[in-house]
Structure 1
Amino acid sequence: MFTPIGRSDSATGQAVQFAKGILEGSSTAFYEVDDDLKLTRFMLSNVSADFHRQYVESMNRLDPLHPKHAADKPFARLSVATEQCFTAETAAYRSFANQWGIVDMVDFFFRRNGRIVAGMSIQWGPGCKIPDGTMDLAAKIHDYLEFNLVGRTPLAGEEASRYGLTSRELDVIELVCCGRTNREISECLGIGHATVKTHLIHIFEKLGVETRSAVVAMMSKLH
């Protein structure tokens, strides 16, 4: 069974499905990245087993979205990468993807202490509508995904219980700790702006603080 970094399978699956839904993808792959930038421990959704086998055995070395090419980028898109650096390798990889019905894809790169430790590929198949402003959407959700998938040590149950925090309030706290504005929290969680404000009022009351920075400082101590 796949065991993601510091999280339960259920929590990771929810984060992956969130990204897939926002970007209207047809398939996803979440993976860990070891110290040698090798991709390991995949969690796949609607990805052909044969495509995955060929990718792992040989085609990953041609992949322009492989973490070894990421540098300091938080994400990259296949169509953009191949246009910016068209080589025999990228052409071969694009042909490989096309053979398996992959029209385009975006890969996210998640870091811990500056090192890529995991990634996620969102793929679009034939007939999929690739959202307008895809790269802007990816930029908006990257930090939220990174914090949930690799950056957050979850509060122990006793801590959440001690302060009486609900699961939704914990979601809001996570995004506050990522530096997100109320509007961005609203977009990420799919809730109204007024609802975000209400959650923050309750969070401040339960934690006994008055500012967002105090929330962040308190969470850092708990973690």
Structure 2
Amino acid sequence: MIALLGRSDPATTQAIQFARGILEGSATAFYEVDGNLNLNRFVLSSGVPSGFHEQYIAGMNRLDPLHPRAASNQSFARLSVAIDRCGTQEAATYRNFAGQCGISDMIEFFFRRNDRVVAGMSVLWGLGCKIPEGTMNIAEKIHDYLEFNLINRLSSPSEEAARYGLTSRELEVIELLCCGRTNREISECLNIGLATVKTHLIHIFEKLGVETRSAVVAMMSRPH
């Protein structure tokens, strides 16, 4: 497994490997979802096409028909089916993007806590690979198992705040930091000044007892 801004603890790794194996996928990507539906703390398996993740984070996620913002009440969905149903230019562009990155299809799992999507998992199939017959039925059967094993290990924002004495604004800064955002991007996302972002980071470093941005990400990515 390759952990990228995420949790590489044994339980998470085992659940991801289980999903990839039983569904006969080419690769998997697990991620957490914050209150603003931003994806962060990714854990990627080997086999994720080179450049796909970077381009996805850089902006292609806005076109993704399987993004959590489009999850509705679904527990899982298939990319090719979602694209055909959308029938939009954005969906067609995303299909081309996936194909150029070497992805033929994928199944997306949505995991919820208190009716809110808090995490998800992508199971990808490379070009030349077909989703095996009956895979969607298997996905339905394993969804609750995956949700139980993965979501119970996530800390809620209130738990994080109580543990370290973080303010709601500091939690927002940390969430964006874990997404790989720069100080300027955090400033724009939260509509606050650049100097204010730096002040928040100083307070976050002090409360967590760390000295670097990467240490913040590593600490907040640990299972609790």
TM-score (normalised: structure 2): 0.64
Structure 1: runs of 5 or more not aligned: 154-223
Code of the aligned partner of 1:42: F
Q: For residues 101 and 134 of structure 1, what CA distance do their matches in structure 2 show?
A: 20
Pairing 1:90–2:91 present: yes
Partners of 2:153 and 2:68 lie apart in 1 by 21
Instruction: Count matched residues.
Output: 150
Give the aligned partner of residue 32 of structure 1. Answer: 32
Q: 1:201 aligns to what?
A: none
Task: Say if 2:141 is the partner of 1:140.
Answer: yes
Establish whether residue 54 from structure 1 lines up as the match of residue 29 from structure 2: no
**CA distance 1:55–1:151, shift in 2 (3 Å):** same
- Displacement of 1:84: 1.2
> For residues 13-162 of structure 1, what are the structure 2 equivalents within 5 Å?
13-45=13-45, 46-151=47-152
Please say if residues 37 and 67 of structure 1, whose CA atoms lie closer than 8 Å, have aligned partners that are also in contact: yes
Please tell me whether Structure 1 or Structure 2 has the larger radius of gyration of its CA atoms: 1
Aligned to 1:190: none
Tell me the distance in 2 between the aligned counterparts of 1:64 and 1:75.
12
Distance (whole Å) between structure 2 residues aligned to residue 141 and residue 105 of structure 1: 16
Q: Partners of 1:52 and 1:3 in 2: how far apart? A: 14
Secondary structure at the aligned position of 2:124 is classed as strand
What residue ranges of structure 2 are gaps of 5+ in the alignment?
155-224
How far 1:128 sits from its partner (Å)?
2.4
On the 8 A contact 1:110/1:119 being kept in 2, the answer is yes
Cα pair 1:24 1:129 within 8 Å, conserved: no
Q: CA deviation at 1:152?
A: 6.0
2:72 counterpart letter in structure 1: A
Following the alignment from structure 2 to structure 1, what is the Cα–Cα distance between the partners of residues 125 and 50? 17
Deviations 1:15-47 (A, max 9, x none): 000000111100110000000001001001121
- Opposite residue 37 of structure 1, the aligned amino acid is L
* Structure 1 residue 49 displacement after superposition: 4.4
* Distance (whole Å) between structure 2 residues aligned to residue 147 and residue 81 of structure 1: 26
Q: Which residue of 2 aligns with 1:219?
A: none
- Whole-Å Cα distance in 2 between the matches of residues 127 and 93 of structure 1? 18
Asked if 2 retains the 8 angstrom alpha-carbon contact of 1:77 and 1:104, the reply is yes
Which residue number in structure 2 is paired with residue 174 of structure 1?
none
Instruction: Report how far residue 3 of structure 1 moved.
Output: 4.6
